[in-house]
Amino acid sequence: MNSDNHFMLQVKKGQIDKLGILFERYKDPLFSYFYRNTGKQISSEDLVQTVFWRVLKYRHTFNEAGTFSTWIYRIAHRLLIDLWRTNNKQNPDFDNLPDTYTSENPTAEENLLTDESLKLLSKAMEYLNAAAREILIMSKYQNLKYREIGEILDCSEGAVKVRIFRALQELKVIYKKLEGK
């Protein structure tokens, strides 16, 4: 049994202090997941807190046959879906995509991205529809396996592969448009 599952089983049995260990392990990856999906620091921090509040509230539903990482990302995914529904911002306005991308007021994150192609890729990710962006973030940034993504999104591993392929194709089109080619 992996140690995350072990700690979660202890939390499930009432040893709430063990949740702190899981929080320390997962707060940064979850923040990254939310930030890459929303682009908002405060919201991302709040969402991480909400995930752990839900972990505590629904600890009795944790199934030791699965993995803790998949279970917690499923909670995070559902929170993100709720956020999109609340804000009704699941899909950016692709029709108003600029012909080329220029950064007039770079943010701190953009200043760290000195390579123009990375800036373009980051901007292109913003224009992806929410579902495509999320699956690429899970796969490429969170390094989740296709099987894990399938469990989180409640679909087959084959469906995950197709969704990732389509998302990458869409990203390529957006990137080329931003690049001006």
- pTM summary value: 0.75
Mean pLDDT value across residues 125-131: 92
Nearest-angstrom CA–CA distance, 181 and 175: 9
In this predicted structure, the answer to whether residue 100 has a pLDDT above a threshold of 60 is no
Look up the CATH number of the domain holding residue 166. 1.10.10.10
The pLDDT of residue 89 is 56
Boundary of a domain, candidates 71, 90, 109: 90
Q: Are residues 36 and 79 in the same domain?
A: yes
* 36-57 tens-digit pLDDT: 999 899 999 999 999 999 999 9
Q: pLDDT tens digits for 140-152?
A: 999 999 999 999 9
Does pLDDT of 92 surpass 50? no
Reported residue count of the chain is: 181
Clarify whether residues 86 and 97 are in a common domain.
no
Give pairs for 107-110: CB < 8 Å, separation 24+: none
**Does residue 123 share a domain with residue 43?**
no
CB 136 within 8 A of CB 171: yes
Q: State which of 62, 90, 118 marks the end of a domain.
A: 90
Q: How confident is the model at residue 116 (pLDDT cuts 50, 70, 90)?
A: confident
Asked if 178 and 123 touch (Cβ cutoff 8 Å), the reply is yes
131 and 170 in a single domain? The answer is yes
Say what the pLDDT of residue 25 is.
96
Give the pLDDT of residue 46. Answer: 95
How far apart CA 86 and CA 167 sit, in angstroms, is 24
Cβ proximity of 124 and 174 under 8 Å: yes
Question: Of 6-10, 47-51, 66-70, 92-96, which range is least confident?
Answer: 92-96
Domain total for the chain? Answer: 2
Percent pLDDT > 90 in the chain is: 68
Q: Is the pLDDT of residue 98 over 60?
A: no
Structural domain including 66 reads 1-90
